[in-house]
Chain A
């Protein structure tokens, strides 16, 4: 485990360095508080720190206060080294954000024992963060496909629409529905249906850029948000996504299945800033048109003019190569 030592006394620093290396730590040693703070601000910084109380530039409590002010970084377990002995000073040190303190000259065994306490605390923190991240993931992702769930992608879409409007860019919204998916479930069972959905999710993710969003909108419906997508390229990109499903059969436990997807699409630049629900309604209508046009195709929702009411959009079929 990495550990940072900050002590302006070279003798004490060398003693700590050697003692901790012998205990298996990967030691970084610095000679003042400013350098300590720089080290602790780095990516992959040590999460254990032994800080001398009195140091030039910035003292140990000063380092503790600065580290505790940052909320975005992982927890650093900090031990103050002090030859100060009064209760008031100890309280001051701990209130600055230190987790523990050790009196100089330190006893090597006591030092190691106190650092083991620190390691236990950090391990608990790791578990807590992991549990929180798992909960956050579960709250925002679909259990079966691990795609963003409906709520999460709707939130992201709303944010993206505002951003693209502000930056005068266009966002393309695609709503895809697996054609005849009910037949898959009815013929091969839900386990195979699930396999199909997982594979479709993977193909959708594989056919978009890293900064686009893909979510499971519900059942066999998927919502794809192409961020900052040039309107000239949007139909072509939507077509490529459609083909990613139909181009090759999906391997399942019951054999390979050839499936297709119908897509409704909308470019935000054609519609102006409107509520997400309204735009999704238009995309859904375009998807319905794609289904009605024989499936496995794309239809784009386009208003006749931008000022027209949302309830009366026109739908123009896009000529596609199949």
Chain B
């Protein structure tokens, strides 16, 4: 019989596996994004600008929700970030956002802060890459 503990264990082991898998992914999959935008540099710049504006705002809202242990808003904002990041090719950060969403949806308040830290950590490696690319295409 599968109890709640088993279910959590399974969820936990899946998360670990995803973590291992995601580390082999690049922080930013530019090739995938270029394919998605049909090599349209102007559109790519548009998307990066939107991201630059929206990402910090959403992150701040998420931090507030996590601090307040607001599971519903944490899940919603995690979902938003997951969509935003995956559209942009930020594979690992998107995966971190997905984990946070799953944790919040599962009501695992205790794991929420850790998931947010993991997300921030991934974002810290993604953002410089995006900034560098934007600087490069600007010149």
Using a CB–CB cutoff of 8 Å, the interface residues on chain A facing chain B are: 8-12, 14-15, 18-19, 22, 52, 54, 83, 104-108
Determine the residue in chain A with the shortest Cβ distance to B89. Answer: A105
Instruction: From B39-47, B63-71, B110-118, B127-135, give the one contacting chain A.
Output: B39-47
Query: Known contacts A83-B82, A107-B36, A108-B36: does B43 contact A11 (CB below 8 Å)?
Result: no
The CA-CA distance from A8 to B51 in the complex, in Å, is 13
The answer to whether the Cβ of B84 comes within 8 Å of any Cβ in the partner chain is: yes
Query: Pick the contact of A8 from B40, B80, B82, B88 — CB < 8 Å?
Result: B80
Q: Using CB atoms, name the residue of chain B closest to A7.
A: B83
List 7 A-B pairs, minimum CB-CB distance, nearest first: A105-B86, A11-B50, A105-B87, A12-B87, A18-B43, A10-B50, A9-B83
- Would you list 20 pairs from A and B whose C-beta atoms are within 8 A, ordered by A residue? A10-B50, A11-B51, A11-B54, A12-B83, A12-B87, A14-B47, A18-B37, A18-B46, A19-B38, A22-B38, A52-B83, A54-B76, A54-B79, A104-B86, A105-B83, A105-B86, A105-B87, A106-B36, A108-B35, A108-B36
Q: Which residues of B contact A8 (CB under 8 A)?
A: 80
- In the bound complex, do residue A12 and residue B37 qualify as a contact, i.e. CB atoms below 8 Å apart? no
Q: Are B47 and A11 in contact (CB under 8 A)?
A: yes
Residues on the A chain within 8 Å of B86, using CB: 83, 104-105
- Within the assembled complex, what's the spacing in Å between the Cα atoms of A12 and B88? 9
Give the A-B pair count, Cβ closer than 8 A.
Answer: 58
Question: Which of B35, B47, B76, B98 is in CB contact (< 8 Å) with A15?
Answer: B47
* Chain A nearest Cβ from B121, distance in angstroms: 21
A52: B residues at CB distance < 8 A:
83
In the complex, the chain A residue whose C-beta lies closest to that of B51 is A11
A106 to B32 CA separation, bound complex (whole angstroms): 11
Report chain A residues within 8 Å CB of B47: 11, 14-15
A14-B50 in contact given A9-B83, A9-B84 (Cβ < 8 Å): yes
Flag if A11 contacts B40 (CB, 8 Å): no
By secondary structure, the B interface counts as: helix
Give Cα A230–Cα B15 distance, bound, in whole angstroms.
Answer: 81
Choice from A9, A54, A83, A105 contacting B36 with Cβ under 8 Å: A105
Within the assembled complex, what's the spacing in Å between the Cα atoms of A104 and B85?
Answer: 10
* A10–B50 alpha-carbon span in the complex (Å): 7
Contacts of A12 in B (CB 8 A): 83-84, 87
| Shortest beta-carbon distance from A93 to chain B in Å | 15
Q: How far is the CB of B129 from chain A (nearest CB, A)?
A: 16
Name the residue on B nearest A107 (C-beta): B36
> What are the residues of chain A within 8 A of B76 when measuring CB–CB?
54
Q: A22 to chain B: which residues have CB within 8 Å?
A: 38, 40
* Residue among A8, A15, A107 with the highest chain B CB neighbour number at 10 A: A15
Cross-chain contact B46 with A104 (CB below 8 angstroms): no
A83 to B45, CA, bound (A): 24
Inter-chain CA distance A22–B36, complex, in Å, is 12
Give complex CA distance A11, B87 in Å: 8
